[in-house]
């Protein structure tokens, strides 16, 4: 899991008290090696996945 963190001032003008906002984004990567016939691979790749999930398929 990769953590990306940003610390920024809450106030848009930069004036006032020193109040800070901490933002974090987590990136999770999973690698699955699959040894299967081509028809099984086709049926797996037709599964509907949320658009926010990035999937990369490579065949050797």
Write the CATH number for 29: 3.30.70.600
The tokens for 43 are 């049926």
Assess whether pLDDT exceeds 80 at residue 15: no
The tokens for 37 are 């016939």
Q: What is the pLDDT of residue 25?
A: 95
Instruction: Give the residue with greater pLDDT, 47 vs 59.
Output: 47
> Is residue 50 in a domain?
no
Q: What is the pLDDT of residue 7?
A: 93
Domain limits for position 24: 2-45
> Is residue 16 in a domain?
yes
What DSSP element (H or E) covers 39?
A: helix 38-45
> Is residue 58 in a domain?
no
Total number of domains constituting the chain: 1
> Is residue 13 in a domain?
yes
Q: What is the pLDDT of residues 18-56, one digit of tens each?
A: 889 999 999 988 888 888 888 988 898 888 989 888 888
Q: Virtual CA dihedral for 37, 56, 33, 4, nearest 10 degrees?
A: -170
């Amino acid at each position: 899991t990769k953590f990306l963190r940003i610390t920024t001032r809450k106030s848009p003008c930069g004036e006032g008290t020193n109040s800070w906002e901490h933002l974090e984004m987590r990136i999770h990567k999973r690698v699955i090696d699959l040894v299967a016939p081509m028809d099984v691979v086709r049926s797996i790749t037709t599964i509907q996945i949320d658009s926010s999930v990035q999937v990369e398929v490579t065949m050797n």
